[in-house]
């Protein structure tokens, strides 16, 4: 990157000033996709860097959005909502209702509690939408549903006619450095799915 761009940016925008090399970002995403292969899809967790959400939306399959504030950033940036996976525990009823009314089936919603499940069912029913949902499996942390609760929801899925159960989502944390840990988690999910 040309050093002059730093001085020019400081003069134009002041400090602090964030400068991103979008070409390098795009190339890194392509490299990750190449390593993972065509069967894997990349979902950009925008909380990592919301400044890049518009660019990321052009180069990844999906965007993980974990709060009403992050969703508003996507709206302002003109991100296609069909790429949004509305995740996280910070989904209050008013937020679910707004998104379900405005965008309905275009957004994929994760379910991390029975309250979220009920709020999504009610919003889907009230706005005559069939909302696509992923049941989020906990890895033992505070995020997601227990295996037992997921089994009960699946057994009673006909009680939620406004929801389209797409599958399971598993978040086990970040900074995984040992392949053995990832393999163990993938085998756990395989067993759960079976």
79-135 pLDDT tens trace: 999 999 999 888 899 999 999 999 999 999 999 999 999 999 999 999 999 999 999
Q: What is the largest CA-CA distance in the chain?
A: 62
Task: Tell me the whole-structure pTM to 2 decimals.
Answer: 0.87
pLDDT digits (tens, 9 = 90+) for 5-52: 888 888 999 988 888 889 999 999 999 999 989 888 999 999 888 999
pLDDT digits (tens, 9 = 90+) for 56-74: 999 999 999 999 999 999 9
Report the b/e string of 48-74 with b at 16+ CB within 10 A. eebebbbbbbebbebbbbbbbebbebb
Please say whether the beta carbons of 108 and 133 come within 8 A.
yes
Report the b/e string of 147-176 with b at 16+ CB within 10 A. eebbeebeeeeeebebbbeeebbbbbeeee
163-170/131-137 β-pairing = parallel
- Give residue 19's Cα distance to chain centre: 25
**Tokens standing for 145?**
């549903």
Please say whether the beta carbons of 72 and 92 come within 8 A.
no
Instruction: Give the pLDDT score at 1.
Output: 56
**Tokens standing for 114?**
């029975």
């Amino acid at each position: 990157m040309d050093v002059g761009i730093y001085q020019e940016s400081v003069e134009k925008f002041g400090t602090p000033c964030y400068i991103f090399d979008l070409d390098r970002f795009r190339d890194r995403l392509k490299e990750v996709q190449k390593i993972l292969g065509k069967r894997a899809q990349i979902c950009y967790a925008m909380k990592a860097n919301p400044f890049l959400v518009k660019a990321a939306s052009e180069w990844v399959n999906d965007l993980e959005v974990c709060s009403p504030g992050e969703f508003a950033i996507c709206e302002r940036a003109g991100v296609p909502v069909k790429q949004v996976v509305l995740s996280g525990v910070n989904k209050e009823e008013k937020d679910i209702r707004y998104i379900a009314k405005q965008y309905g089936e275009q957004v994929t919603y994760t379910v991390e509690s029975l309250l979220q499940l009920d709020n999504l069912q009610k919003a889907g029913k009230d706005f005559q939408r069939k909302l696509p949902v992923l049941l989020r499996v906990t890895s033992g942390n505070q995020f997601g549903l227990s295996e037992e609760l997921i089994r009960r929801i699946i057994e009673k899925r006909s009680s939620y006619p406004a929801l389209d159960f797409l599958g399971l989502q598993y978040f086990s944390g970040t900074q995984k450095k040992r392949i053995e840990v990832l393999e163990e988690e993938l085998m756990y999910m395989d067993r759960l799915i079976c």
